[in-house]
């Protein structure tokens, strides 16, 4: 019986499209195989998170379907997104898939809060699929982003973390969530105007280099000579202020306290968690729990009321994992 099945790791399924051309099975303690995901319905990332929280590391595929599994694992949404030769509709599907994967990764365990946020995101994702503002914004993003997935990963990660922060703090209007997502997609494009070896904060050593690096929010806005397709002024303000601090020690303009736009405060938290976990801030890659501890210890930077709810959720998920 065992020879009729081949294992596939849960981790490898995280970086896949949700559609399936085969069924996935769980191996039960009795030695029997129980169908977990059907090809007619595909993967469900929320259920995948629940299985991961229970300690499941492998699923199984019938041996005759193993060639289909190989083909499925080769179709990475990120690779599809980065391939400029793919048609826009295919890249749009990949972009939404990467967003959903990032949402799944943000929690790393199945929790009631995760399920609530995921349901809200499902509704938002459904509206984005045919949203004219989103489609125009995505086309613009794919035009200006380099063929290096680091910045796209950071942009999408920042968008998802910021979305979660907003949702947890009761900001649920579609307009505000779209502003946050769109600002997150573009917030660091200005770094691409800097020399390739100075696009990360820790790569800039001299005072002159640091001053120039801290202009990158301005450089982002200078990249776009025309208006954004949606909520132009609010998106620009959110981007411009995403590196400001409440104590006035941020950049590029050193605004402080009430002068820091509410949506920029949310983006600042999503941006920092994404940077720290990708190793973009100081060259060290932090776990989500380490990154949150680092952020909580940074007095005067973030809106602690907004950060605390998000921090509690991330730390809870990290302990569960």
Summarised one tens digit per residue, pLDDT across range 211-226 is 999 999 999 999 877 7
pLDDT single digits (tens) 63-99: 999 999 999 998 889 889 988 899 999 999 999 999 9
pLDDT band at 122 (very low <50, low <70, confident <90, very high): confident
Q: How far apart are CA 286 and CA 241, in angstroms?
A: 24
- Give residue limits of the domains in the chain: 2-74, 77-320
pLDDT bucket at 195, cuts 50 / 70 / 90:
very high
212 or 141: which leads in pLDDT: 212
Q: What is the value of pTM for the model shown?
A: 0.87
What pLDDT is attached to residue 1?
Answer: 44
Among the residue ranges 24-28, 49-53, 106-110, the one predicted with the least confidence is 106-110
- The answer to whether residue 46 scores a pLDDT higher than 90 is no
pLDDT at 108 over 80: no
Which of helix, strand or coil describes residue 226? coil
Find all residues with CB under 8 Å of 255, minimum gap 6, and list them. 241, 244, 248
**Distance in angstroms (rounded) separating the CA atoms of residues 126 and 19:** 16
Indicate whether 286 pLDDT > 80.
Answer: yes
CA separation (Å) from 293 to 206, 273, 289? 28, 10, 6
Rounded CA gap, 36 and 256, in Å? 51
Euclidean distance between CA atoms 170 and 148, whole angstroms:
34
Residue 228 pLDDT: 82
> What is 77-320's CATH superfamily?
Hypothetical protein af1432 (1.10.3210.10)
pLDDT recorded at residue 143: 83
Whether 146 shows a pLDDT value over 70: the answer reads: no
Cβ pair 42, 24 in contact under 8 A:
no
As a whole number, mean pLDDT of residues 117-145 equals 85
Q: Strands across the sheet with 24-27, in order?
A: 5-9, 58-62, 24-27, 33-37
pLDDT at residue 121, as a whole number: 85
Most confident of 40-49, 185-194, 238-247: 238-247
**Of the candidates 36, 31, 38, the residue with the CA atom closest to the CA atom of residue 2:** 31
The pLDDT of 250-273, averaged and rounded, is: 97
* 5 has a pLDDT exceeding 90: yes
């Amino acid at each position: 019986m065992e020879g009729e099945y081949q294992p596939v790791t849960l981790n490898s399924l995280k970086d896949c499209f949700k559609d399936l051309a085969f069924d996935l099975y769980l191996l039960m303690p009795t030695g029997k195989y129980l169908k977990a995901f059907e090809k007619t319905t595909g993967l469900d990332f929320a259920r995948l998170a629940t299985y991961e929280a229970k300690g499941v590391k492998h699923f199984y595929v019938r041996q005759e379907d193993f060639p289909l599994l190989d083909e499925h694992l080769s179709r990475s949404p990120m690779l599809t997104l980065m391939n400029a030769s793919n048609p826009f509709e295919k890249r749009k599907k990949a972009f939404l898939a990467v967003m959903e994967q990032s949402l799944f990764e943000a929690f790393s365990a199945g929790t009631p809060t995760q399920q609530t946020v995921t349901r809200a995101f499902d509704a938002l994702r459904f509206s984005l699929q045919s949203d004219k503002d989103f489609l125009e914004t995505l086309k613009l993003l794919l035009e200006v982003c380099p063929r290096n997935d680091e910045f796209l990963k950071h942009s999408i990660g920042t968008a998802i973390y910021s979305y979660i922060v907003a949702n947890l703090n009761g900001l649920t209007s579609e307009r505000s969530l779209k502003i946050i997502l769109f600002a997150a997609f573009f917030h660091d494009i200005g770094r691409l105007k800097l020399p390739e070896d100075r696009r990360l904060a820790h790569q800039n050593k001299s005072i002159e280099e640091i001053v120039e690096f801290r202009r990158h929010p301005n450089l982002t806005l200078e990249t776009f000579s025309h208006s954004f397709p949606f909520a132009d002024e609010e998106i620009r303000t959110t981007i411009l202020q995403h590196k400001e601090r409440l104590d006035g020690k941020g950049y590029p303009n050193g605004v402080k306290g009430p002068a820091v736009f509410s949506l920029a405060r949310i983006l600042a938290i999503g941006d920092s968690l994404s940077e720290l976990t990708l190793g973009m801030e100081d060259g060290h890659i932090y776990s989500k729990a380490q990154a949150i501890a680092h952020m909580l210890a940074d007095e005067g930077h973030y809106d602690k009321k907004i950060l605390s709810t998000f921090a509690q959720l991330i730390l809870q998920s990290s302990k569960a994992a």
